[in-house]
Amino acid sequence: MDLLKCLAFIIFAIFWARQVPENYKIYKENKSWENFLILLGKILMSLASIILAIGVYV
């Protein structure tokens, strides 16, 4: 069961990480505070999902 939870968090991390380049392009074109926060949020969510996956599995 722990392995399934770990895989679920890894899938979430991949989902969030796939959106980072797209959001970076948007931020690069229009350097606003809102676009930066969206980009930062996606990066932090992918890192948090990886950390949770490690925590659940260990």
Q: How many domains does the chain have?
A: 1
Instruction: Give this prediction's pTM.
Output: 0.77
pLDDT digits (tens, 9 = 90+) for 40-55: 999 999 898 888 888 8
pLDDT digits (tens, 9 = 90+) for 8-39: 888 888 888 888 899 899 999 999 999 999 99
For the stretch 46-53, contacts whose Cβ atoms lie closer than 8 Å and that sit 24 or more positions apart, written own/partner, are: 46/13, 46/16, 46/17, 46/20, 47/13, 49/9, 49/10, 49/12, 49/13, 49/16, 50/9, 50/10, 50/13, 52/9, 53/5, 53/6, 53/7, 53/9, 53/10, 53/13
Q: Which domain holds residue 30?
A: 2-57
